[in-house]
Structure 1
Amino acid sequence: MNNNNLKADMLQAMRRLAKSVTIISTSNGTQRFAMAATAVDSLSTEPPSLLICVNTSASPHAALADGADFCVNILGVEQQDLAHLCSGAIKGEARFERGDWQTSEEGIPFLADAQSSILCRQDGRMTYGTHTIFIGRILRIRTSPTITPLVYLDGSYTTTAAPARMIAAAG
């Protein structure tokens, strides 16, 4: 199998891997950055940490490569429009015009109305291929009582949340 076929097969396989949609947010001190991402995962509970994978061509990459701390904002199904905006529909500061964006005491932008906002101090990085893997040591977590995750599967947004009538019946 040649490399082009392997790449195409890998991309097709990854379409079958359902992932929660997040917005990675950071700042270089003068400019804020936000990008939609599904390449996020827990790393360890000792110490509490996670990892994010960011393409070297993505707008927040330079700030992150310079050591900026970051936030992983886990989106709810009602925030699909924010995911779209932070996936390239608009650029720069305009990405912060929708949603309840606030700034932590460390200067990290976070989405206050996200399902969860996980504020991280950058604690390591490694470049591999087209991406850099950034390790975030968790500083603080803000979590909503509602669980209606926005999920990306086969090139489309969906959710695993129960329909409203099932939630109401369970209550």
Structure 2
Amino acid sequence: MNMVDHQFDSVDKTTFRNGMSRLGSAVSVVTTVFGGRRFGFTASAVCSVSDTPATLLVCINRASSSFPAFANTRYFCVNTLLPEQEDISNVFGGRTSAADRFESGEWGDGLTGVPLLANASVSFECELTTVIDEATHRVFFGRVIQVRENAEKATLLYCMRRYLRG
């Protein structure tokens, strides 16, 4: 890719956040196990990368209380929420202690032992393949090793700083 050599200032934080709030996305809870304990956080920054091999990416703020666990684990799961699971999104959003988060929802174990939300819209169990640090976040790339779908087809969406029932 040929990059043009121009110097432009980045837009300010508020302008960027307001613009990004219009980019609706599915709401997921990303989970892992580290040191025998379960960890998880709410994420809207999840994206398909490739279907050959099946790969997705998820972003986590390096200041997150869950970051040390995710930085030192090999497996993780992206559990995409159903419309009626706003409460789970809020619990995993950071204001609840890591130890208490899994009291919300019904959790089981995936192939690798990572927490799977029993009635998620869809769960993608992944093996970490690559990480990239960019600005305040780390991007995790995961090779998908299991997909579990719910018969319910709807997904909880977030757009304009509010939940939408898709």
- TM-score scaled by length of structure 1: 0.88
Q: Which has the higher helix share?
A: 1
Is the CA contact (8 Å cut-off) linking 2:33 and 2:73 kept in structure 1? no
Q: Distance in 1 between matches of 2:9 and 2:54?
A: 40
Q: Distance in 2 between matches of 1:8 and 1:25?
A: 29
Within-5 A mapping of 1:1-171? 6-160=12-166
Secondary structure at 2:64's aligned position in 1? coil
- Deviation per CA, 1:31-73: give whole Å up to 9, x if none: 1111110000001011101000000011221122223310000
Q: Distance in 1 between matches of 2:127 and 2:107?
A: 19
Is the CA contact (8 Å cut-off) linking 1:21 and 1:150 kept in structure 2? yes
Secondary structure at 2:19's aligned position in 1? helix
| C-alpha displacement of 1:105 | 3.2
Q: Distance in 2 between matches of 1:80 and 1:69?
A: 25
When residues 44 and 2 of structure 1 are mapped into structure 2, their CA distance, relative to the original with a 3 A threshold, is closer
Percent of aligned pairs with the same amino acid: 33
CA RMSD of aligned residues (A): 1.4
Secondary structure at 1:135's aligned position in 2? strand
Is the CA contact (8 Å cut-off) linking 2:127 and 2:142 kept in structure 1? yes
Q: Distance in 1 between matches of 2:156 and 2:51?
A: 24
Q: Which amino acid aligns with 2:112?
A: E
Secondary structure at 2:12's aligned position in 1? helix
Q: Distance in 1 between matches of 2:9 and 2:110?
A: 47
Structure 2 segments unaligned to the other structure (5+ residues): 1-7
Q: Distance in 2 between matches of 1:104 and 1:71?
A: 8
Structure 1 segments unaligned to the other structure (5+ residues): 161-171
Q: Which amino acid aligns with 2:76?
A: F
Q: Distance in 1 between matches of 2:14 and 2:51?
A: 35
Q: Which amino acid aligns with 1:59?
A: S
When residues 66 and 6 of structure 1 are mapped into structure 2, their CA distance, relative to the original with a 3 A threshold, is same
| C-alpha displacement of 1:2 | 6.1
Secondary structure at 1:43's aligned position in 2? strand
Q: Which amino acid aligns with 2:157?
A: V
- Deviation per CA, 1:64-103: give whole Å up to 9, x if none: 2223310000001110100011112311121101211011
